[in-house]
Structure 1
Amino acid sequence: MELLDIGRHCANPDCKQLDYLPIKCQYCKKDFCFDHSKPSEHNCSDAPSGDGERVPVCPLCGVPVPIVRGEDPNIKMNGHIAKGCHPPSATNSSKPFNSCSFSRCKERVAIRVVCSGCGKNYCIKHRLEPDHMCDKIKKDIKIKPSDSELVTTPT
């Protein structure tokens, strides 16, 4: 049984080890063994200088502002803000997103549980209409006839 086509040789000229799980460099796109997989380990000429590049994020809107190597990030950020940086609009509700709409509950849920009666979001504990005093139930109670109206006199 021959396994000649499986694996890759390390692209480092001093190593050339056959590796069955080679790691591809994100910059030069060559295959390396684990020992030479980091750009600093194989002296990658395509890797960025320094400890890595970071893209500045706008403090107002949270959008990343790309810069060209050698360009001043402050000038680019000022240009972004001058062009009409749109900060996210403030929410109208006082409760955080996906929090239970029951007045005394501070539970936050990962999945929205919306009541079919009032259309509000509730946690598992308050998801049923009687548990959160749903407006639909209050209306149904008012509409129901009283006990005296239910009793009919025989004729």
Structure 2
Amino acid sequence: MGGGKEYFPYIGEHCQYDDCNQLDFLPFTCNGCRKVFCLEHRTYRSHACPKADHSSRTVAVCDICSASIEKKANEDDKDSLSQHEKSGTCDPSKKRKPRCPVPRCKEILTFSNKSACKVCNLKVCLKHRFPSDHSCRMTKLVARTGLACKEKKESVLLSSSIKAF
């Protein structure tokens, strides 16, 4: 039964967390305890669900084929991944290739079309190689000039000689 406002009485429900009772127009139903919660209390931990252990699932991602492997209760990641590799279902050709991180760009990065930005060091496709094309966030890079290296070496030598006394 809805708990909406005057004009829309059947839209949304109130959060069933003890101290909340917030009217949420997109409520979440917990698959453990079957109660309705708002966005803030939707997770097992946030509303202290008594049946969380029975229905919670955890997975490990295979580095070889990018498959999600469901772990059993009290099982280590390494054990489940080694069992997956031995099963014969692990196929390296299914591994997801790295893609250009620019929004809406689906270009797969390979050795021939990959470029590292000189300002932020982000690996992007050739289409987005200029800082203005990938909303570059400026980060301070270490200077590689001879003068900068000499100054750094002198500062290290100075600091080590001061500590010796």
TM bin, normalised by shorter chain, reads: 0.3 to 0.5
More helix by share: 2
Specify the structure having the higher radius of gyration (Cα): 1
TM-score, normalised by the number of residues in structure 2: 0.41
More strand by share: 2
